[in-house]
Chains A and B, each alone.
Chain A
């Protein structure tokens, strides 16, 4: 996996435009959620090789699994209506629930994070995550132009990248 594909995969998996609909409008809460997400991704990425080894999964097979999850998720995102906003709650605890979980820390994000870390390098996984999370922090509570189109673009990109990852996994030695 090249570094560019790795960065784009993380961006597409997080899909900051789509997350904008669900995240709290309080930027501090979003920043807390993003920080926790980044820390967990760093933790998972650092332990990625160990996780795969412990589960007896090779990297090519993992690519197939991650690609399948991402492609299903991205297609579902394209077909479904935009997600509903979650009822706001006060305080920075909302940075944990709902900002970190269940909005930002999703299965496809965690899986892509691990894959990119082991396949392209943890630095590129972090680069993609930082870009996506800065985006969600920046736009939190602000009107976002063309948000639906942008979200769809991320989803289409995720489908394309996920298929490439699956093919790469299936036809890898």
Chain B
């Protein structure tokens, strides 16, 4: 027989049961399972949003090829500053847009490239995009190599091939014994600065070297790309003491690129899955954020357009990877869903032409993503890339 000697009345037990149910469901919904707002946009909406971002970059490009860097839409103030990595990144996104046929993107990207071409200096047996100071960061060179690679793929124009190769040689010279990539080059010693690493330049270099192997398969780029890829997959986060692990959309691009010319290793495939586990929760969390008082307090404010865009770039890369690499095929469905979700959030959060009229300078506000009233050109860059790369996912679902 049952052992308890104390009994409870049915009424009190039922009341406690009802209270538990209500408490659990209410607390769960309010604090853990908030709605993830992931509409499915149409291809047309995605293209229109991407075109608006391109138009912002076109309208806000200076005569020398640089872009308006940082701008407060609410106070109509140019906040100044500039960053060559972001210049190269914007150039890359514009070549992506040009490949998608968005008017104005090609001309703007070409002006951006001409600006960078004027800053090339010999380095590491190749050439690098120069920056002020005794040490030169590799980001501008890696991203410009990616931009030129995109240009080459879209047009077959070989005008920049020698520059591409020189940028590749420069990046190759930045690779250390174990595959780590030094983030800076010492102009006086003409060598890498040992022990200096960036969370993103390594992935950029990996993607660039992998793209060079794809573009020029008869040339020896494979080994350099493989060394960096292995380092990223098995060593980087521990060796560079990165915790939490880097949300490295460039590495995801690189893996998708590598899978186009060889099968991924088991370590690389495993890394792709780990990257999915980094992008996914961020996207799900971001999709729960609204402008309401309550979600500001329980989920924080909405992330930067650039931040959201990088997540979309990461998941679109995993979607593409899943389509060509059997060891990553299981990522494809979820990567596609998250990519579309990011595209929907980007569209919803972009200042459209109507909303822009509320600001002093609608030409500088329309097409942007802002946080605290401020937009930076890489907001448009990453959002644009994420939108463009979501288009084939939506088309595949049609």
Contacts and interface: CB of A to CB of B under 8 A. Distances in A.
Contacts of B278: 171
B252 to A, nearest CB: 11
Contacts, number: 109
Contacts of A57: 33, 35-36
B61 to A, nearest CB: 36
Interface string A59-96: 01110110011000000000000111111110000000
B377 interface: no
B266 interface: no
Contacts of A143: 1
Number of contact residues on B: which range applies?
A: 35 or more
B104 to A, nearest CB: 34
Contacts of A62: 33
B232 to A, nearest CB: 18
B195 interface: no
**Contact residues of B: prevailing secondary structure:** helix
A138 interface: no
B50 to A, nearest CB: 24
A89 B8 CA distance: 12
A112 B9 CA distance: 28
Interface residues of A, number: 39
A51 to B, nearest CB: 11
Interface stretch (A8-16, A97-105, A125-133): A97-105
B18 interface: yes
Given A84-B8, A172-B334, A173-B335, A21 B3 contact: yes
Given A57-B36, A64-B32, A84-B8, A141 B14 contact: no
Interface of A: 20-21, 23, 25, 55-58, 60-62, 64-65, 68-69, 82-89, 97-98, 101-102, 106-108, 111, 141-143, 147, 170-173
Interface of B: 1-4, 6-10, 13-14, 16-18, 20-21, 24-25, 28-29, 32-33, 35-38, 273, 276-281, 284, 315, 318, 331, 334-335, 337-338
The 4 closest A-B pairs by CB, nearest first: A102-B17, A173-B276, A171-B277, A56-B35
Given A20-B2, A107-B25, 5 more contacts: A21-B3, A60-B281, A83-B4, A89-B10, A111-B24
